[in-house]
Amino acid sequence: MAEASNAEAGGECAERGPEGPSPESVPPGTAVSRVKLLDTTVDTFLQKLVAAGSFQRFTECYQRFYQLQPEMTRRLYDKFITQLQTSVREEVAEIKAEGNLEAVLSNLDAIVEEGKAREEPAWRPSGAPEKDMRSALAPYLLQQRDTLQRRVQRQEVENKQLADAVRAGRRQVEALQMQSRARWQAWQVGAPPRPARSSGEHGPDGGRLPRAPPCPGQSA
């Protein structure tokens, strides 16, 4: 009997699920942000999920084990429910982070509030397709033009930087060439003079020395 009462109590507790805000608790006419509405939807889903997998149904699936180890069965069920809720909440949080849902839903709320305060009527087609097409495409084309202008300006700045770098490199090359020529000229000035080459040898008085007679047997 005690085990049955524990099972019923566990089933009732599981069916109630975690406490949280419900759509019925919000007064009518109160604006609820879409982020809170999403969180409330997730909480309601978890409550119904836990209610569908109550402790009583859990024990029916593992009736033999429950009869042998009722306390262990209860602990396993509690751990299973806790991990299930944690897994679902983590998945929802990951989806919200990947899609930036909180910022998107907040922006949507702001747009809706601005629309409520707007008194002028919403846009309607004028009946002239060309005029409507121009009015719809003009903002987009202007935005694209501004984007292209910014890209062109960035490219011009990069080109100017590259041209400055090329000119600086040329100046460095010219300076190195001038240094090389100056060193070459200085080396030529400081180098010893080379002896003059002549077709024949000359004596001290500048006259040509007589040639040695040919050896016997050698033609002149």
Whether the pLDDT of residue 31 is over 60: the answer is yes
Q: How many residues does the chain have?
A: 220
Task: Quote the CA–CA distance of 84 and 54 in Å, as a whole number.
Answer: 13
Distance CA 109, CA 69 (A): 52
Model pLDDT, residue 12: 44
> Cα–Cα–Cα angle for 15, 21, 23, nearest 5°?
95
Separation of alpha carbons 16 and 47, rounded Å:
7
The whole-angstrom separation of Cα 36 and Cα 33 is: 5
State pLDDT tens for residues 108-158.
888 888 877 777 777 777 888 888 888 888 888 999 999 999 999 999 999
Instruction: In whole angstroms, give the CA distance from residue 53 to residue 11.
Output: 9
Handedness of CA 31, 33, 34, 38 (dihedral sign): negative
pLDDT band with cut points at 50, 70 and 90 for residue 188 = confident
The strand pairing partners of 181, in sequence order, are none
pLDDT reported for residue 6 = 46
172 has a pLDDT exceeding 50 = yes
CA distance linking residue 75 with residue 66, whole number of Å: 11
End-to-end CA distance of the chain: 150
Q: What is the mean pLDDT of the chain?
A: 78
How is the chain split into domains, by residue range? 2-117, 135-187
Tally Cβ neighbours within 10 Å of residue 186: 10
**Burial bucket for residue 89 (CB in 10 Å: 0-12, 13-18, 19+):** middle
Of 64, 62, 54, the C-alpha closest to 84 is 54
Is residue 16 within 8 A of residue 44, CB to CB? The reply is no
pLDDT of residue 128: 85
Cα 143 to Cα 137: distance, rounded to the nearest angstrom: 10
Q: How far apart are CA 47 and CA 19, in angstroms?
A: 9
Chain segment 68-93, per-residue pLDDT in tens: 999 999 999 999 999 999 999 999 99
* Bridge partners, residue 202, by sequence: 208
> Quick check: pTM over 0.85?
no
3-state class (DSSP) for residue 218: coil
